[in-house]
Structures are given as C-alpha cells and as structure tokens.
Amino acid sequence: MAYGMPYEDWKAKYQKEASAKKQAVFEQAFERTHGHPYQG
C-alpha cells in the first residue's frame, strides 16, 4: 500500500513518465554505479 491505496492504483494515478533528459541522466548514473548499461 502507498498513501492508503494499493501501489498499482497510486502508480497509475500519480506516477508520470520521466523526460528524455531525466532518463538519460538515470542511465548514465546506473552505468557508472553498476558497471553495465541499464537493461530496463
């Protein structure tokens, strides 16, 4: 549960897709800290 509702409901209602820039920053950080590209 998240904020009094099932996680999937919360995610569908509130979670937004990350911008291309934020996704790129995440992928760079992931590779730097994990030593391999993100496979998401």
What pTM does this model have?
A: 0.62
Round to whole Å and give the CA distance between 26 and 40.
Answer: 11
Q: What are phi and psi of 19, to 5 degrees?
A: -65, 165
Scanning 1-40, the segments in alpha helix (DSSP H) are: 7-14, 20-34
Residues 1-40: tens digit of each pLDDT: 888 999 999 999 999 999 999 999 999 999 999 999 999 8
Structure tokens at 5: 């509702």
Predicted local confidence at residue 32, as pLDDT: 97
What number of other Cβ atoms are within 10 A of residue 30's Cβ?
A: 15
